[in-house]
Amino acid sequence: MAVPYSGYHGLFIELKSKTGRLSEHQKTWLNNLNDRAYKAVVCYSLDEAMDVVTKYLGGNLNNV
């Protein structure tokens, strides 16, 4: 479910393994989401993803 916070329509996280890479299609998708006032990021660990969610819901997205 997309939950609007901090001026964004919702948060999307692409979760990759430590050695995972984004495809060109995924890069385009994330860029399109960001261009449409969503927050879309790539995370390479569960801890990183949890940190992003915590910051998103807390309104502290300066370092995300």
The answer to whether residues 10 and 37 touch, using CB atoms and an 8 Å cutoff, is: no
Please check whether residue 9 is in contact with residue 35, taking contact to mean a CB–CB distance below 8 angstroms: no
d(Cα 8, Cα 25) in Å, to the nearest integer? Answer: 22
What is residue 58's DSSP assignment?
H
Tell me the pLDDT tens digit for each residue of 4-31.
877 889 999 999 999 999 999 999 999 9
- At 13, phi and psi to the nearest 5? -125, 125
Q: What is the pLDDT of residues 31-51, one digit of tens each?
A: 999 999 999 999 999 999 999
